[in-house]
Amino acid sequence: MNHMKSVLFLMVVAMLLLSACGGGSAATSVPEQPGDATEVPATDAPASEKKVVTFSWTQEFTSLSPLYSTGWFTAVTQQFWNCWAWNYDENNEPYPYLVTEMPSFENGGISEDGLTITLHLRDDIKWSDNEPITSEDFRFSWAMNIDPKNIVSSTYPEDLVTSIDTPDAQTVVLHFDTPSVAWQSLFTGIVPAHILQPVYDAEGTLDNAEWNNNPSVGCGPYNFAEWESGSYARFVRNDNYFDAPAKIDEIFIRFVPDDTAQTTALVAGDADLGAFIPYSEVPRLKEAGVEIMTQPSGFNEGIFLQVSEDFSHPAMLDVNVRKAVAMSIDFDSFNQDVNLGLVKTPGSFWDALPYYNDPPVEPYPYDPEGAKALLDAAGWVDSNEDGTRDKDGVEFIIQHGATTREVRQELQAVAQQQLADVGIELEILNFDADLFFATYADAGPTYSGELDLQEWSDTPSGFPDPDIYYWLCSEVPSDDNPSGTNSFYICDEELDALIQEQASQLDPAERQETVSKINQIFHDKVYWIGAWQDPDVWAVSSRLTGVKFSGVTPFFNITEWDIK
Amino acid sequence: MVRYIVKRLFQGLPLLLVISITLFLLMMNIGDPIATMGGRTITRQSDRERLTRQLGLDKPISVQYLYWLIGNDWTKVDSDGDGIPDNYGTRHGILRGDFGTSLVTRKPVTELIGERIPNTLLLMVASEVVTVFFALLFGIYSALRQYSVMDNIMTALLFIAYSMPIFFVSLMSMYIFAVLFKKWGLPYLPTVGMFDPQVGKTPWQIFIHMILPVFSLSVTYFAAYSRYIRSTMLEVLSQDYVRTARSKGLPRRQVVYIHALKNAALPIVTVIGLDLPFLLGGAVVTERIFAWPGMGRLFLDHVSRSDLPVVMGILMLVATAVVVFQIITDIIYAWLDPRIRFD
Amino acid sequence: MNNQTPTLSELADDLITPPLTLWQLGWLRFRRHKMALFGGVILILLFIFAFGGAFLYTEKYANFNDTSQRLLAPSAEHPFGTDSIGRDILARTIYGGQISLFIGLVSVIIETILGIIIGALAGYYGGVIDAILMRITEAMLNIPTIFLLIVMAKFFGGNVPEIEIAGRVFSGSVIVIIVIIGATSWMYLARIVRAEFLSLKENEFILAARATGTSNSQIIFYHILPNTVAPIIVSSTLSVANAILAEAYISFLGLGVMPPTATWGNMLESSAKYLDSAPWLWFFPGMLILLTVLSINFIGDGMRDALDPRSRTI
């Protein structure tokens, strides 16, 4: 014992002695001063001629399986190694990919009553292990999605399909109870039955299938190679791909959670592609020769107004007051100055869908004097001269809530001042997204009706389809309906009927008419105020060629991308 | 001694239990994990209800805690949503080594944590070594020359380093050594990640990618350690036995290195020992800025989505490590210092 | 280590120096600590800046934005330049400074109260109370502070209405940040206080007080606590610096004080992406945090040297 003790003592003393006497010479052995370091990172071309591109993503994907994935980054990753029934081009128009043609009334793909949709599969499509892709894969993908034993991310719109027939290997027949426009969002990614059926049979669920995070078999132009959590993922060219092979050999995805660090990486040439670039980063990127490409993907940043007898500020129940609020905020200047003129103020929730935003709805112009006149006429005047308008002893103070995204907070600050100028006091609140969107049952601020103005970026569900559903009366949250999504508490019978009507109109022309009516109601009753268009913003290295994006399936032409 | 260890272990277990209950209650109320599962769009009503049930989030907190602690394979749960419990659960509980499954990725928590531990330890241990090494140099030097010009200059520099927020140091060093150096045509360092994909995960690549984060971390911790070492040395140097040794006319070197250092080593080693388990937790801010795939980032990514199993897993792992290291440090301390008796 | 019996050499010192109280002695020593004095001067200047500046600019001006005037470099009109929506940075650093200093001071008051109560109770009563309180302290120390801060910031971050103090409206998140910083930092102080109590409570004067029937609370607050003031002051001073840094960290992670209420921390956060294009955005708040933390650390260091009863250097 004593002996051990002295040995340990000696070791400690020796360590201290060494470090004390080491002095300056020791400094060279430790990478303390990066500036003095002579090492040069290997940025020269690699020894082999392998073409590798690096994509920088600010969020890691969750699961790779189309069934379990949540979030945008996972969905776009599927473009590399998985396949959708149909893809969308740079104009966000669908074109057949696994099917021979898009089903329609004309070609009989959609039955007259809209209750049956028939897909004809190409006969040359195959998985990366050379197994053919058949109607069974489609049926299996659907069945797994709605199976209660699988904790999938979303069962919509698969749960609208009542059954699927597979008369032969190339024919998939979908049956519906009611016609639904959501069919276009089906089969956004499929899973291989020949790999996963045995797993399901053995385990009773696909939740723990190894394939989910290590999809050895896929059907896209690239094969999944590896994924190191928090660090990177690699995809290599699929030599068994059934279409024209990709030109680039490998896609390397690096997860960079910080916007500033991502820009620095793009500027330094450590990344070739970045997504979700904040507008404030654009000048720095352009200066470094990085190209900025925008692609409408249906999203618009907007202010959702809560109009509820129970929860809203009484002033907000008056449509003219809501109009005045819209006219008091100078969105155009904000977009010109803060968003650097890269985006415009959308007048419509369907701004990214010109076909449905027809005739195009213009935003309310910035007109503080007009707003004051409207407020005066509505009886909201500053009777006690405290700077804020009031009526019947109620001060005009409303709440504006948003997540903690910076540009939102900037708009809030600007809006606060501009509304103060017309005599409306705006209280600003910020929440993390998981709090902001927490349910009525969890007393989340939006769904509990605490916010008169709610700001986030949203899209018609199933873009490029114009469908919406939040404003349905059946979505209003209550004790009996704790998961309702109508945080605006708007139950407008006319609007409700139109929203229900359009959801089953499979004929585009009829649909256009209905959506136009909804669009006009939104504008006239001021249920939604557009702040700025929110397209996908990509930063693309100048060494990439052939780059195109779609707002739905961003990497639809990834096989044509190349390195200069 | 054995009795002491057993006693400490029995004190440690209820401690961890209390920590876990407190954290569990905190975690239950920090947000709705399902709220962000729709990605960029809002989670649908039907999906919300289904997921809440399937993930067991509709159960009372006490039941959720019980399942988390001891599992649910002893009771029947409703797996298909008809409201009738049909099958035995599959969870074993953290006491049996099952940390649960991430709500976000559906991967086992042990796997998620296991992937990150090596990366975090690589970064943190390197920083700790660099930090301790330089802190010893500076700390001892400035203790021996208290209030000299050099001591004052170094102390001032240390305080500046200590007073800088770490994200400031990180972004600044990234900007200078990666962006400006490249612009000026100097040898420059990479910005983010662990390696360059075109070269691959070679030791050299990892080394040069580590320089900036290690530098940022060391700058901050270095100051605190140096000050501690300095004051410990000063305290020891003012002790009577050192004065006695000096007055006996022993050579200065011998006094400093044998008499003073020997006694200063004990508290210094103790402090380092007690800090070691915290290295497991990684560095939240630094890992985020340099996109280093460690525990700190795992924590941040999952806490922002209220992913209870992962967050609890990380916190309990660190807390357990701290308890164990405390006991180990106590034992070593007692072993080295004959004045301490446990009975 | 706590050598209570004075040695011969120390007695000799006492004979040479005239008898001084600890505070007189402390001030004498503190005065010689040049960096501590320097720190004190800087800190006074910073307080004058943050609170005197309010006479130069109104708070309305500090929040006044004009997006056409964004990211302007420092000029005569805007001495510190403007931020990303055209607000004057000088005015914002003034009002942000008030909040940052306020957070630093108040959270440390909470910390100190918690630390003293828990440390005193544990040290004085010992036994079961000590065991329970020290287990809680250990439990808190077992989790890295930043993790605790993040979890608690999210826990309390939900529904906090704006609050009005002295005619000014603050984001409710200011209170949240103060509470969580205070609640996650008292542990070290509690341990210091407990150790002091443990060593003091067996002293003759305490035993004498007890024998004469003095109540426990009187003994704690009138007899023991005044003797532990020196280490408490040193620790609390240094905690102010840590609290200001903690606010900056938590702001950087987007969980701090919510805009439009400015703090030095959240001004620095949003400026990170203008590192090279608009350096004045980070330079001024960054320098102010640095100067504040630096001067407080200097003062704390000087106090430690000055008030340490074992240190004999004058």
What ipTM goes with this model?
Answer: 0.84
What are the E-state strand segments in chain C? 163-165, 168-170
CB contact under 8 A, C151 and B303: yes
Q: Which helix (H) or strand (E) holds A563?
A: strand A562-563
Cis-peptide, bond into residue A359, ω within 30° of zero: yes
Q: Looking at the complex, does the CB of residue A22 fall below 8 Å from at least one CB of chain B? A: yes
Residues A307 and A199 placed together within one structural domain of the fold: no
CA distance readout (Å), A297 to A80, A110, A375, B40: 19, 26, 36, 11
A254 beta partners:
A56, A232
Q: Does A229 reside within a domain? A: no
Residues A492 and A542 placed together within one structural domain of the fold: no
Band of residue A331 on the pLDDT scale cut at 50, 70, 90: very high
- Show the domains of chain B with their CATH numbers: 34-102 (no CATH), 109-336 (1.10.3720.10)
Does residue A45 register a pLDDT over 80? no
How far is Cα C146 from Cα C185, in angstroms, rounded to an integer?
A: 11
Residue B289: list chain A partners with CB under 8 A: 258, 260-261
CB contact under 8 A, B40 and A459: yes
How far is Cα A281 from Cα A269, in angstroms, rounded to an integer?
A: 15
Residues A386 and A410 placed together within one structural domain of the fold: yes
CATH number of residue A479's parent domain: 3.10.105.10
CB contact under 8 A, A32 and B134: yes
Residue partners of A460: CB distance under 8 A and separation at least 6: A298, A349, A350, A353, A466, A467, A468
Residue B89: list chain A partners with CB under 8 A: none
Does the CA dihedral C264-C268-C274-C275 come out positive or negative?
positive
- The average confidence (pLDDT) of chain A is 88
Neighbours of B88 (CB within 10 A): 12
Q: Does C5 reside within a domain? A: no
Using alpha carbons, select from A179, A203, A199, A183 the residue that is nearest to residue A191. A199
Q: Does A461 reside within a domain? A: yes
What residue of C is the nearest CA neighbor of A436?
Answer: C158
Q: Looking at the complex, does the CB of residue C60 fall below 8 Å from at least one CB of chain B? A: no
Does residue C160 register a pLDDT over 50? yes
- Chains with 3 or more CB pairs closer than 8 angstroms to C? A, B
Q: For B47-56, B63-72, C163-172, which range has the lowest pLDDT when averaged over its residues?
A: C163-172
Q: Does A244 reside within a domain? A: no
Q: Looking at the complex, does the CB of residue C152 fall below 8 Å from at least one CB of chain B? A: yes
CATH number of residue A47's parent domain: 3.90.76.10
Q: Does C18 reside within a domain? A: no
Q: Does A293 reside within a domain? A: no
Are B295 and B120 in contact, with CB atoms under 8 Å apart? Answer: yes
Residues A372 and A465 placed together within one structural domain of the fold: yes
Task: Give the domain range for residue C194.
Answer: 23-63+77-306
Are B326 and B318 in contact, with CB atoms under 8 Å apart? Answer: no
What are the E-state strand segments in A112-216? 116-120, 161-168, 171-176
Residues A402 and A443 placed together within one structural domain of the fold: yes
Residues A456 and A557 placed together within one structural domain of the fold: no
- C-alpha distance from C74 to closest chain A C-alpha (Å): 19
Q: Given C67, C254, C276, which is nearest A333 (Cβ)?
A: C67
pLDDT tens across A258-304, in order? 787 788 889 888 899 999 998 888 988 999 999 999 999 999 999 99
Using alpha carbons, select from A312, A548, A70, B166 the residue that is nearest to residue C272. B166
Q: Does C68 reside within a domain? A: no
Residues A403 and A542 placed together within one structural domain of the fold: no
Band of residue A372 on the pLDDT scale cut at 50, 70, 90: very high
Residue A284: list chain B partners with CB under 8 A: none
Contact residues of A toward C, CB < 8 A: 259-260, 263, 278, 280-281, 283-284, 333-334, 336-338, 404, 406, 409-410, 412-414, 416-417, 427-432, 435, 443, 445, 450
Does residue B132 register a pLDDT over 50? yes
Greater confidence (B5 vs A162) lies with A162
Does residue A30 register a pLDDT over 50? no
Band of residue C312 on the pLDDT scale cut at 50, 70, 90: very low
Greater confidence (B166 vs B198) lies with B166
Q: Looking at the complex, does the CB of residue C63 fall below 8 Å from at least one CB of chain A? A: yes
- Chains with 3 or more CB pairs closer than 8 angstroms to A? B, C
Greater confidence (A523 vs B183) lies with A523
Residue partners of C232: CB distance under 8 A and separation at least 6: C112, C115, C116, C189, C192, C193
Which contacts (CB < 8 Å, 24+ apart) does range C128-137 have?
A: C130/C194, C133/C190, C134/C194, C135/B11, C135/B14, C135/B15, C135/B18, C136/B18, C137/C187, C137/C190, C137/C191
Greater confidence (A29 vs A555) lies with A555
Q: Does A242 reside within a domain? A: no
Q: Given B168, B299, B323, which is nearest C286 (Cβ)?
A: B168
**What percentage of chain B has pLDDT greater than the value 90?**
17
Residues A470 and A337 placed together within one structural domain of the fold: yes
For chains A and B, CB pairs below 8 A equal 260
pLDDT at residue A14 in the model: 43
Radius of gyration of chain A (CA): 28
- C-alpha distance from A338 to closest chain C C-alpha (Å): 7
pTM of the shown model? 0.85
CATH number of residue C174's parent domain: 1.10.3720.10
Residue C304: list chain B partners with CB under 8 A: 231
Does residue B73 register a pLDDT over 80? yes
Helices and strands: H and E segment counts in chain C: 14, 2
Residues A528 and A503 placed together within one structural domain of the fold: yes
A397 beta partners:
A425
Q: Does A445 reside within a domain? A: yes
Residues A558 and A456 placed together within one structural domain of the fold: no
Using alpha carbons, select from A163, A97, A172 the residue that is nearest to residue A136. A172
Q: Which two tokens stand for residue A165?
A: 């027939």
Are A411 and A401 in contact, with CB atoms under 8 Å apart? Answer: no
What residue of C is the nearest CA neighbor of B324?
Answer: C142
Q: Does C194 reside within a domain? A: yes
Task: Give the domain range for residue A444.
Answer: 300-533
- C-alpha distance from B14 to closest chain A C-alpha (Å): 31
Does residue A206 register a pLDDT over 80? yes
Are B64 and B56 in contact, with CB atoms under 8 Å apart? Answer: yes
Q: Looking at the complex, does the CB of residue C274 fall below 8 Å from at least one CB of chain B? A: no
CB contact under 8 A, C260 and A429: no
pLDDT tens across A215-262, in order? 999 999 999 999 988 788 999 999 999 999 999 999 999 988 778 778
How far is Cα A323 from Cα C185, in angstroms, rounded to an integer?
A: 49
- C-alpha distance from A477 to closest chain B C-alpha (Å): 10
Q: How many domains, chain A?
A: 2
CB contact under 8 A, A434 and B214: no
For chains B and C, CB pairs below 8 A equal 115
CB contact under 8 A, B208 and A41: yes
- C-alpha distance from A275 to closest chain C C-alpha (Å): 16
Q: How many domains, chain C?
A: 1
**What percentage of chain A has pLDDT greater than the value 70?**
91
- C-alpha distance from B191 to closest chain C C-alpha (Å): 15
A95 beta partners:
A87
